[in-house]
Amino acid sequence: MSDASLSGPGDDEPFDLEREPLDRPPPMAAQAERVTVLGVADTDDREGVRLRVRGSDGDEYDVPADQLWAEDAASANAIVLDDYRAYLAGGGLPFDPIEEE
């Protein structure tokens, strides 16, 4: 994939990434599934950021952002995803459930 197929941060254009199954470490190119990120699906205090993607088979589904890697490791998309994984590995934001009175 060429750099031209990735969009920069803040753009509303889809961009291509690789998705790894949960039981594998970061990308093993021969086993990764290519997906196109369509946008942010939702965010959750416990599950984090989920992105809406289109798989190579044309199906659309939501994927945790920490399961995605950009093919070009020097791209802005790769930096954002790597920083997000580092943020999560460091514990993210503390989760404080609101107590009911």
Give the pLDDT score at 8: 43
Q: What DSSP string describes 12-79? A: -S-EEEEE--TTS-S--TTTPEEEEEEEEEEEETTTEEEEEEEETTS-EEEEEGGGEE-SSTTSHHHH
Give the pLDDT score at 91: 83
Give this prediction's pTM: 0.62
The three-point CA angle 81-85-87 to 5° equals: 115
Q: What is the pLDDT of residues 29-81, one digit of tens each?
A: 556 788 999 999 999 888 899 999 999 899 999 999 999 998 888 999 999 99
